[in-house]
Each structure stands twice: as structure tokens, then as C-alpha cells.
A and B are shown apart, each in its own frame.
Chain A
Amino acid sequence: MRIPRGELRRSRVVDDAAAVLRAVLDEELTGYVVFEPQDALLLGETTSGVVTFEDGIPVLAYDTEREVGGRDGLEGFAVTGPTRAAVHAVDTAALADAHEVEAFRIPPGDPARVLAGDERLAEQTVDAAPAARRDEGRDQSAVEAFLADADAIEEIRSEAREEARARASEWGLDDVLADDARDSAAIEPGTDSR
């Protein structure tokens, strides 16, 4: 994933990502914002990600630590609480190549929704997006295809189970895990995170 280096406009810690996304939408930024959730730092983890924009509308997302793009990438740096946001401007033409990477593209409302849980801002962003982008993420045939792929669904579920068990250990919630979840946690190696 290569995004051309932009001109730094501002870098500051904000209470949540919504303020930055709103400002970028208002100023119709073309460029990118680097997000570094501060709570992750406190936990000793480095988390950061990039969202690119065209005229203020989010185009793609990339988790720079895990090197994952798209919706999954976005979730990687969706940490509640203060975040450092560095806003950079880039020429539209310079971003064109990066924006062609389909796998990293995200529906316009997703950053507001996922990073900030701000549905109103998500709706405003979708309303402000070009007509061709407004229905992204609402393709019924894609939903049907997703649900028809039983193996992929099982993968999502088993990953979530693993994650739930690992986090229960981290959070001291082991004792309230269901018996079968605890049993499989005991059998399978590598789920005990700390």
C-alpha cells in the first residue's frame, strides 16, 4: 500500500475521531488522515491507520500496523477514546493509483460509523458523496453471496470465538465464560494471551 506523502496541515490529539472526520468533510479535503488511538498506546500497543479522502469523502482505509486494508483494516484502529489525527493534503491525481485498489476501498459512511460510532455524521457523509458512491455497501447480491459462503462465515465465527476467549483472559472474565468456551480454551493452545 503506497500513499504519496502529503503536506501536513495539522496534527493534534482529539477526543474522538468524529471531530476530525467532520472537519475534513467540511473543508472537502483531498488527502489522508493518520489516526493513532492514544488508549492503545497506554496499553503498550502501537495502533495506527490511514483513511484517504477525495473532496472530504472517505475512499479507502488501511491499518498500517497489521497491514490490512478495507473494512477489516478500519476496524484495526477503531479504538474508543482520544486519538492523534494528522491531516495531510495530497493532489487528487497523485492519489488516483492508490484509490484503484478495490480491496482497500470502504463505503463513505464507514469511518464515521466504525471509528466514531457517529451515525448522524455517517449519514451526512453519504449524503455529501457522489451519487455513484452512495449505495456502496448496500448491494443485495453481495449480501446473498456472503451468506451463501458457509466456510467464510464459519471463519468469521471461529475467529470471533478465539478473540472472545483471549480477551476474556485479558479482562479477567474467564470465570464467566460458558463451560464449553472455557473447555475449548483449555484445549487449544495460544488462546491465553498474557
Chain B
Amino acid sequence: MVEAFAVASGKGGTGKTTSTLALGMALAEDYDVTVIDADTGMANLLFHAGLDDADVTLHDLLVDERDAAVSDAVYERFGMSVVPCGTSLAAFEAADPGRLRDVVAELAADADVLLLDSPAALGSKSAVLPVVLADRIVVVLQPTVPSLSDGLKVQEYAHSYGTDTAGVVFNRVRPDENVDKIAEQAGRYFGGQTLASVPESDAVRAARREGKPLLAHAPEDPAADAFREAAARLDVRDGDGRDVAERFKSAVVPERI
């Protein structure tokens, strides 16, 4: 049983990595969760998960001549399996994004839920690949015009590849913003459901500084509560892990970035 979600926003700044790890930790209460930093060009999940000094990362699995096993890049942290990506520009340039499908297919075999932290861009093959490979996307939005516009774009890209929308998380919502009306309006255009409205919180920045996911750093914070609510609303579907692995393998993916 496995379902792969790409956590996506189209552009940066919505708190995608924070959301990915928060949803991952909340889902890990009930499922075997693997979180993958699929933002190979601008990795930062490792900083959020205290893995700055990880020896082996996704980059090592994507470079031909490196002889690393997939399991070498998997770190058990905070109740989840975490696959960080490195930050070296040279490694990014040497990485073959086409290998991502094999890595993801192997990881899919052992997980109930895969969460792919997706690049904040749509301008390259490697950036859209997580959205292509996932079963469904979770769109992370801020209640602003640019963020909603970007979210609509990433959703259309996903739908073009047959990837549906599981739901929308409104993140970094300020106290004076009434998201209910915006969510109701946005619901006409976004698939799935509104999973949660997560308040802007100082605890998010503090968690990042400490190298811990929000739910580990400040489990009682209202933002953490909201992410748990989002995870509870996410209807993880039963799937056959082998089917997913097969689909990943058969996906025609580019040889180079």
C-alpha cells in the first residue's frame, strides 16, 4: 500500500518544506512515511530535519559514478524515513534526474506514504518530475494573489500529467486574514478539499533554526495543530506498491536536466 504525494506550490515562500515535514510527522502516527527532498536544485529539507551533516544524500543516488545504495541516503528521524538532498551545485549539475524514478520506485516498496518536497519552480524537467511521478499533489498556498496564481499553475501542470489534487493547505495565514471566504472561493478552482488554515507562527522559524520539524520543536503550537488537522483530513488511498513502482519505472523521464 503506497500513495505518493508531491507537496507543491509552484513558487517559493509558502513554507512548503515546513509543510512537508509537518504532514509527514503527523501521518507517521498511522503510516510508514518516507519524506524525500525532491528539490534537487535548491535543497533545504536537510536543514529543517537536522541532517546538515548527512554523509550520503539523494544527490549521491542520482550521480552515475557514485556507488551508493538507496538505503545509505535514508535517515530515520522523528518517526519518519527522511531522504535529504545535498546543496552542492556541482553535485546538482552532475545529477541525472532520470534516476529519480528508480530511487523513488525503490523507496515506494517499503512505505505507506511517500511525500515529495517539490521544487518551487516549473521551468525545467527536473522541477516538474515530482509532480509527474506523484499520485496526487498537496498544494501549499498563502492567501495572496501571486501564491494563488502560482498554485493554479502547478495544479494545471499536475493535471496535465494525470496527477490529481488531494487538497490545499493555506499556510502562514496572518491573524487579520479571514481565510474562510478565500478558501470557499478557491475551492471552486482547486481540486480536493481545504485541508487546513495554518497560522503564521514564530515557532516555524525557531524550529528551522533548531533543525527540527515544527511538530517536534513545538508540538503544542497552533500551527502544529493545524498541520495535524490537515494530515487527518488527507484520505490516503490504498494502492498497490508494485503498481506505483512500475509506473515510476515506465515513466518516460529525461536523461539530463
Quick check: is A6 within 8 A (CB to CB) of the other chain?
A: no
B11, B15, B41, B254: the one within 8 Å of A171 (CB): B254
Closest Cβ–Cβ distance, residue B205 to chain A (whole Å):
9
- Asked if A87 lies at the interface with its beta carbon under 8 angstroms from chain B, I say no
CA A163 to CA B152, docked complex, whole Å: 13
Whether B156 is near chain A, meaning CB under 8 Å from some CB there, is yes
Measured as residues with beta carbon below 8 angstroms from the partner, the interface class of chain B is 35 or more
**B124 → chain A, closest Cβ, in Å?**
7
Name the residue of chain A whose CB is nearest to the CB of B39: A117
Known contacts A119-B12, A143-B143, A175-B252: does B182 contact A164 (CB below 8 Å)? Answer: no
CB <8 Å contact, B125 and A164: no
Query: By the criterion of a CB under 8 Å from any partner CB, how many residues of chain A are at the interface?
Result: 45
Instruction: Establish whether residues A114 and B12, one from each chain, have CB atoms under 8 Å apart when the complex forms.
Output: yes
Q: Are B254's CB and A172's CB within 8 A? A: yes
B68 within 8 A of A: no
A181 at the interface (CB under 8 A from B): yes
- Label chain A's interface by main secondary structure: helix
B185 — which chain A residues lie within 8 A by C-beta?
Answer: 144, 147-148
Q: Which residue of A lies closest to B145 (CB)?
A: A146
Q: A80-B124, A140-B177, A144-B182 are in contact. Are A176 and B132 (CB under 8 A)?
A: yes
Whether B146 lies near A117 (C-beta < 8 A) is no
With contact pairs A114-B11, A138-B144, A140-B177 given, residues A15 and B89 touching in the complex (Cβ less than 8 Å):
yes
User: Which residues of A (109-163) have their CB < 8 Å from a CB of B?
Assistant: 109-110, 113-114, 117-119, 122, 137-138, 140, 142-144, 146-148, 150, 153, 156-157, 160-161, 163
Beta-carbon contact of B162 and A178 below 8 Å: yes
Q: A80's contact among B13, B123, B181, by CB below 8 Å, is which? A: B123
CB distance from B243 to the nearest CB of A (A): 15
- In B101-130, which residues have CB < 8 Å from any A CB? 120-121, 123-125, 127-128
- Chain B residues within an 8 Å CB radius of A103: none
Is there contact, CB below 8 Å, between B189 and A153? yes
Residues in B neighbouring A153, C-beta threshold 8 A:
152, 189
A143-B253 CB under 8 A given contacts A119-B12, A157-B156: no
Name 12 A/B residue pairs within 8 A (Cβ), A-sorted. Answer: A15-B89, A71-B149, A78-B121, A79-B123, A80-B41, A81-B41, A110-B146, A138-B177, A157-B156, A164-B156, A173-B161, A178-B160
